[in-house]
Amino acid sequence: MARPSIATCDPSARPCLATRGSLPRSRTCAPLLFLCLLLGLTVFCADANPSDSKLLCSRLLPCEPSIEMVRNCKNLWKLLDRKVSVPCRKITTLTRTVTLTELPDKTMEAKCLQGMFELIDSAFFNETKLQEIAKGATEMNVPIYRANRKLVATKDGGLENPSPLVFNPSWNREVQRVQDKRFKYPSASGVKLPRDEEDIAFMSVLELGELIKTRQITSKELVRIYLKQLKRYNHVLEAVVTYTEELAYKQAKEADDLLSQGTYLGPLHGIPYGLKDIVAVPGYKTTWGSTSFKDQFLDIEAWVYKRLKASGAVLVAKLVTGSMAYDDIWFGGRTRNPWNIEEFSTGSSAGPAASTSAGSETAGSMTYPAARCGITALRPTFGSVGRTGVMSISESLDKLGPFCRTAADCAVILDAIKGKDPDDLSSREIAFEDPFSVDITKLTVGYTKDADMKVVEVLGSKGVNMVPFELNYTVESVQGILNFTMDVDMLAHFDEWQRTGQEDLYEAQDQWPVELRRARVVTAVDYIQAQRARGKLIREVEKSFTVDAFIGNVTDWEKVCMGNLVGLPVLVIPTGFKNITDPPTNSCRRRTTINAGIYATPERDHIALALGMAYQSVTDAHRKRPPIDDLGPDDSIPNPPRALIPPRRLHI
Q: Which residues carry out catalysis?
A: 276, 348, 365
| Rounded to 5°, angle at Cα 255 from 249 and 259 | 145
Q: How far apart are CA 458 and CA 463, in angstroms?
A: 9
User: By the 8 A CB rule, do 182 and 563 touch?
Assistant: no
The 3-class secondary structure across 613-633, one letter per residue, is: HHHHCCCCHHHCCCCCCCCCC
Q: How many other CB atoms sit within 10 Å of the CB of residue 121?
A: 8
The torsion angle over the Cα atoms of residues 440, 446, 450 and 451, rounded to 10 degrees, is: 10
Q: Report which of 565, 610, 295, 301 is spatially closest to residue 432, judged by C-alpha positions.
A: 610
Q: By three-state DSSP, how is residue 41 classified?
A: coil
**Helical ranges in 273-323 per DSSP H:** 303-310
Amino acid at 140: M
Q: What are phi and psi of 238, to 5 degrees?
A: 55, 55
DSSP 179: P
R_g over Cα of the chain: 29
User: By the 8 A CB rule, do 330 and 323 touch?
Assistant: yes
Q: How far apart are CA 524 and CA 490, in angstroms?
A: 14
| Largest interatomic CA distance in the chain | 99
User: By the 8 A CB rule, do 471 and 545 touch?
Assistant: yes
**Helical ranges in 404-523 per DSSP H:** 407-417, 453-461, 478-493, 495-499, 512-519
Q: By three-state DSSP, how is residue 592 classified?
A: strand
Q: Report which of 489, 519, 488 is spatially closest to residue 133, judged by C-alpha positions.
A: 519
Q: How far apart are CA 61 and CA 276, in angstroms?
A: 54
Q: How many other CB atoms sit within 10 Å of the CB of residue 186?
A: 10
